[in-house]
Copies of this chain bind each other. A is one copy, B any other.
Amino acid sequence: MRHVHTLLRGRWRDTWADDLLAAAVVSVLLIPQSLAYALLAGLPAEVGLYASLLPLLFYALLGSSPYLAVGPVAVLALMTAQTLVQAPVGIGSQEAALVLAAEVGLLLGLAALLRLDALAALLSVPVLHGFETGATLAIAASQLPVLLGSPAQGFDLPTLLRSAQISEWQIQPSTLGFGLGALGLLLLSRRFLRGHWARVAPLAVLMLAVLASWAVQAPLRGVHLVGHLPPLHLGLAWPSLDLELWQALLPGAALIALMAYVSSLVVAESLGRRRRERVDARRELMGLAGANVAAAFSGGMPVGGSFSRSSLMYDAGSRSRMSSVYTAVLMGVAAFSLAAPLAWLPRSVLAASILVAVLSGLQWRPFVQAWRYARAEALLMAGVTLLVLNVGVTAGLGLGVLGSIALLLQRTARPHVALIGRIPGTEHYRNAGRYQVQLHPEVLGLRIDESMLFTNVRSLVDVVQSQLQPQTRRVVLQMSPVNSIDFSGLEALRELQETLQAQGLRLDLSELKGPVLDRLKSGGWEAWFRGQVYLSHHHGMMADLPEGRDWVSP
């Protein structure tokens, strides 16, 4: 009941007007999107409506962000479509969607319990952006045949082309007519309308299309319609407990859960930061878990936080999670009153609204920026996009996560090593390759710009060895870039000392970080370390330096 308390907290009396307005604005967009994304997932249109009722209440109860608009999302709908294919033969996709939503919800709940919110780190910016771009293009590609009235289907380019070939590139002119009309109106509204008018446009186009469809008696002309929605019933029912079905959908559910969490978190954080509000990642996990479980019990599909609707919610002035509650209520009213007119809605009009919604979110600049900053990451980004578009979401995400880890390993594997010298007249030491510095012939100062980890320590001894001069008597490693030392690093440090000792040289360390030194001490390194640890590199260099020898410029 603590959650209900934090939800209401007596504040709703102050905020209800703002929240209700935001809810109205969001509902106007949510109606067409919920129907369209359900169809995108290969499910009946009303599933989208069900997924926009109870899930919003549960997010309001358990979540944390006042701006996150939960419900059907295009990318998750695409992932749902690709996952439902895995269901065993003979099981209806609507039944499978409930199980999938239940699994997504349970996995998110488990992640919240086990405090796995750090798992979001698995998706780096290149992977996330590459994935979203690929998914957007795949969604657009899958909606083209619907717009054209073609029977072709598929969520990746090869499947789509094969399917179009089988159907002999057949199109249905009247359906296409409705689709192009809607597309034109939507693009024009985006171009010329602002403010409230722009927000109402998608719903207005839908209503216009219904009127036109009825006026020209579209079914007689062969136009593909959404068709009669069954009477709305919010009866709660358990999702199927068929073990085989649960197993078949589990891998897909894990990816959907990860993507639902990360994409929602990114949206909630970026909106929250504009008002210095912090997002509680665990609460978000709980909120999304509750929303998905609610979807599973009320005839819905996997849900997440929508970028476009959340931005709208923020702009429209939402102040608390009560706006989600109001949205659910408005959606309930709409669902009851829209059943009859929606039967007349051409599918190609919904396809047009999906196309406009997703393609407006496409961003190519990050590809350029990544290419200029780090080619390997740009290639990873593009690779993920191409895989999602040509193979599927699983392949894309899999490559992305593995690729990110490989780049991380490579990054730590080849540390930058700097011979450091003294800036004349100061106690500052800098890379001798970049600054005018002085070196001392008998004391070698080195800085290795990386933590000492198993990925790189194999070369530590060789790196130091290669910098030794004939006159060197002592080596001082400046440890300020060393943020941690793992067990392999500890062994390498010991081996370095032994190797230097065998040549009559002493190894000293300077500017060791506090936590690193603590760890070394607790591991008993004082039993074998023979050198000194200096607070500043300058003290380390000057210790027992014979007065006669002078610093030299290299």
Give bound CA distance, A491 to B129, whole Å.
Answer: 12
- Which residues of chain B have C-beta atoms less than 8 A from A414's C-beta? 118
Query: Given that A456-B121, A491-B125, A524-B372 are known contacts, is A481 also in contact with B481, CB under 8 Å in the complex?
Result: yes
Interface string of A484-514 (1 = CB under 8 A from B): 1011101100010001001100000000011
Query: Given that A273-B461, A409-B405, A484-B411 are known contacts, is A372 also in contact with B515, CB under 8 Å in the complex?
Result: no
A411 with B453: CB separation less than 8 A: yes
- Which residues of chain B have C-beta atoms less than 8 A from A461's C-beta? 269, 273
Query: Given that A121-B455, A404-B454, A454-B121 are known contacts, is A524 also in contact with B369, CB under 8 Å in the complex?
Result: yes
Give bound CA distance, A373 to B466, whole Å.
Answer: 29
A405 with B407: CB separation less than 8 A: no
Q: Is A462 an interface residue (CB 8 A)?
A: yes
Give bound CA distance, A453 to B461, whole Å.
Answer: 27
B374 with A488: CB separation less than 8 A: no
Q: Is A278 an interface residue (CB 8 A)?
A: yes
- Which residues of chain B have C-beta atoms less than 8 A from A465's C-beta? 273, 276, 278
Query: Given that A374-B486, A465-B278 are known contacts, is A409 also in contact with B121, CB under 8 Å in the complex?
Result: yes
Q: For residue A380, which residue of chain B has the nearest CB?
A: B487
Q: For residue A455, which residue of chain B has the nearest CB?
A: B121
What's the least CB distance linking A474 to chain B, in Å?
Answer: 17
Q: From residue 421 to 474 of chain A, which have CB atoms closer than 8 A to chain B?
A: 428, 431, 434, 449-451, 453-456, 458, 461-462, 465-466
Q: For residue A450, which residue of chain B has the nearest CB?
A: B483
Q: Is A88 an interface residue (CB 8 A)?
A: no
Query: Given that A274-B502, A490-B373, A536-B428 are known contacts, is A483 also in contact with B121, CB under 8 Å in the complex?
Result: no
Q: Is A523 an interface residue (CB 8 A)?
A: yes
A483 with B486: CB separation less than 8 A: no
- Which residues of chain B have C-beta atoms less than 8 A from A125's C-beta? 454, 487-488, 491
A413 with B118: CB separation less than 8 A: yes
Q: Is A162 an interface residue (CB 8 A)?
A: no
Q: For residue A278, which residue of chain B has the nearest CB?
A: B462
Chain copies in complex: 2
A120 with B377: CB separation less than 8 A: no
B449 with A416: CB separation less than 8 A: no
Q: Is A234 an interface residue (CB 8 A)?
A: no
Q: Is A174 an interface residue (CB 8 A)?
A: no
A486 with B377: CB separation less than 8 A: yes
Interface string of A397-425 (1 = CB under 8 A from B): 00000001101111111111010000000
Q: From residue 116 to 158 of chain A, which have CB atoms closer than 8 A to chain B?
A: 118, 120-121, 123-126
What's the least CB distance linking A310 to chain B, in Å?
Answer: 17
Pick from B377, B408, B513, B514: contact of A409, CB below 8 A.
Answer: B408
Q: For residue A265, which residue of chain B has the nearest CB?
A: B458
What's the least CB distance linking A39 to chain B, in Å?
Answer: 34
A124 with B487: CB separation less than 8 A: yes
B416 with A488: CB separation less than 8 A: no
B273 with A415: CB separation less than 8 A: no
- Which residues of chain B have C-beta atoms less than 8 A from A374's C-beta? 486-487, 519, 523
What's the least CB distance linking A24 to chain B, in Å?
Answer: 28
A431 with B514: CB separation less than 8 A: yes
A126 with B405: CB separation less than 8 A: no
Give bound CA distance, A515 to B490, whole Å.
Answer: 26
Give bound CA distance, A374 to B274, whole Å.
Answer: 40
Q: Is A522 an interface residue (CB 8 A)?
A: yes
Q: For residue A378, which residue of chain B has the nearest CB?
A: B487
- Which residues of chain B have C-beta atoms less than 8 A from A536's C-beta? 428
A408 with B404: CB separation less than 8 A: no
A124 with B273: CB separation less than 8 A: no
Q: Is A93 an interface residue (CB 8 A)?
A: no
Q: From residue 353 to 382 of chain A, which have CB atoms closer than 8 A to chain B?
A: 369-370, 372-374, 377-378
Query: Given that A121-B454, A124-B488, A487-B125 are known contacts, is A373 also in contact with B519, CB under 8 Å in the complex?
Result: yes
- Which residues of chain B have C-beta atoms less than 8 A from A308's C-beta? none
Q: Is A480 an interface residue (CB 8 A)?
A: yes
15 A-B pairs with C-beta separation under 8 A:
A120-B458, A121-B409, A121-B455, A126-B488, A270-B495, A273-B495, A276-B465, A373-B523, A405-B405, A408-B453, A411-B484, A411-B486, A480-B480, A481-B481, A481-B483
17 additional contacts (CB under 8 A) given A374-B487, A481-B513? A118-B413, A124-B488, A126-B454, A126-B487, A273-B499, A276-B503, A369-B487, A373-B490, A405-B409, A407-B486, A408-B409, A408-B454, A411-B451, A415-B483, A416-B483, A449-B515, A481-B483
